[in-house]
C-alpha cells in the first residue's frame, strides 16, 4: 500500500502541470495537485507549527496500533490498509511537511475534498473494521 501510494503521488506530481488538472471523467472525476497541511479532508489546515509534530506522532501511533492488532488476530488485510495508509501520509509529512492529495470527485459545484490512495486505504480499512466488528457475534 505504501509503495502504491508514494508511486501514485510521485507520478501525479511529475506528470500533471503545476496549476493544471486532468479531467478523467468530465463532470465527475479529475486529477489535481493539492498540498494538505491538515489532516483528513483538510481539517486543521491552519494549525500551529507544533501541531505538525503531534499529527505525525498520531500517524506513527496508528501504524503501531494496527500492527499490534494484526498480530493479535484482527484481519491483517484490514490492519494493513489502515497502517499502510497512515504510513504513506506520514512519509509525506516527514519529507514535505504536508500531504499530497490528487483525487478530486465532484458534481457541478459540489466537491468532495481532494484525497489520495493512502486516504482511500484508511477509509476502506476503517469501514471493513466496522463491518467485521458489527458482524462478529458476541460470546456468551
Q: pLDDT means per 10 residues in the chain (140 residues)? A: 96 89 94 85 65 84 93 92 95 94 95 94 94 76
pTM of the full structure: 0.86
- Confirm whether 5 is a catalytic residue: no
What's residue 114's pLDDT?
93
What's residue 51's pLDDT?
75
Catalytic residue selected from 5, 92, 101, 104: 101
Parse the chain into domains and list their residue ranges: 2-107
What's residue 137's pLDDT?
65
CA distance 117 to 138: 34
What's residue 24's pLDDT?
95
- Residue 95 in contact with residue 52, Cβ under 8 Å? no
- Confirm whether 101 is a catalytic residue: yes
What's residue 19's pLDDT?
76
Catalytic residue selected from 5, 92, 104, 119: 119
CA distance 93 to 121: 17
Amino acid at each position: 500500500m505504501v509503495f502504491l501510494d508514494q508511486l501514485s503521488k510521485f507520478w501525479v506530481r511529475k506528470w500533471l502541470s503545476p496549476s493544471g488538472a486532468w479531467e478523467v471523467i468530465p463532470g465527475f472525476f479529475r486529477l489535481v495537485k493539492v498540498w494538505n497541511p491538515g489532516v483528513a479532508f483538510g481539517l486543521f489546515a491552519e494549525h500551529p507549527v507544533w501541531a505538525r509534530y503531534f499529527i505525525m506522532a498520531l500517524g506513527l501511533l496508528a501504524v503501531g496500533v494496527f500492527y499490534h492488532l494484526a498480530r493479535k488476530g484482527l484481519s491483517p488485510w484490514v490492519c494493513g490498509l489502515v497502517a499502510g495508509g497512515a504510513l504513506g501520509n506520514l512519509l509525506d509529512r516527514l519529507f514535505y511537511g504536508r500531504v499530497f492529495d490528487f483525487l478530486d470527485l465532484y458534481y457541478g459545484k459540489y466537491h468532495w475534498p481532494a484525497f489520495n490512495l493512502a486516504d482511500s486505504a484508511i477509509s476502506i480499512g476503517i469501514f471493513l473494521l466496522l463491518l467485521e466488528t458489527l458482524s462478529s457475534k458476541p460470546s456468551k
